[in-house]
A and B are shown apart, each in its own frame.
Chain A
Amino acid sequence: MVYDLRNHQIPTPLTVGGMVGAGVYALFNGLWAPVLLMIALTHVSDFNPREKRLAFALTLSAFSAIFQPATALICALILGFWVLWEFGILGGADVKLLIAATLVFGNPIVLIPIAVSGGIQGVIASLQKKREIPFVASIFCGTLLFVVYSYF
């Protein structure tokens, strides 16, 4: 988060390490289809042209959801994050952290406090006439909120 606030960039080893760690943790929790989808989408990202990437991503996500229906929503979310990155709406570092958070908790509800934190951050930034925000702060605050809330 400190890196993002300072430079609006997050070192690749931090985000990739987080994503790999989350993937291993999710595998131990039985979320194999979303983890395989994450790996597959990482590879699909290098396909050309974009239509081919999108077609492969959609097909792989559908297969992941079908092979492990209990994780269909997580697979859909991973696809959604990836598509947002593909169209340049979200930064790669943020998408990797969002995927990691989703895999670690195995519960898409974690995205609600993250999204709400992002919305609040967006409103505050708009009032300050800022055009851009470091979204990783919202990811951090939202995840923290989710963890703390689960203890009450």
Chain B
Amino acid sequence: MALRFLKDYRGIESTEVALIIAVVVLVAYGAYRLLGQNIAAIVTDIAGKI
């Protein structure tokens, strides 16, 4: 049965991880704002070819 993921009830992270996630998400959002249209076009193009 697929339960390893579902049964995991840990709800705690280290402070460093929280800070890193904050930085990564903000950088990723910035990159998406800059490159989002191009990424969507590439994915749509691949989907069209398949």
Contacts and interface: CB of A to CB of B under 8 A. Distances in A.
Interface of B is mostly: helix
Interface residues of A, number: 51
A24 to B, nearest CB: 16
Interface of A is mostly: helix
Interface string B35-50: 0000110011011001
Interface of B: 1-19, 21-26, 29, 32, 39-40, 43-44, 46-47, 50
Given A11-B9, A67-B47, A85-B8, 8 more contacts: A8-B12, A43-B2, A82-B5, A94-B10, A119-B22, A132-B12, A132-B15, A135-B13
Interface of A: 3-4, 8-12, 15-16, 41-43, 45-46, 65-67, 69, 72-73, 82, 85, 89-96, 109, 111-112, 115-116, 118-123, 125-126, 130-136, 138
Nearest to A94: B11
28 contacts: A8-B12, A15-B9, A16-B6, A42-B5, A43-B2, A45-B4, A45-B5, A46-B3, A46-B4, A65-B43, A66-B47, A89-B17, A92-B6, A92-B7, A93-B10, A94-B10, A96-B5, A115-B24, A118-B19, A119-B18, A119-B19, A122-B17, A125-B18, A126-B15, A126-B19, A132-B12, A134-B11, A138-B18
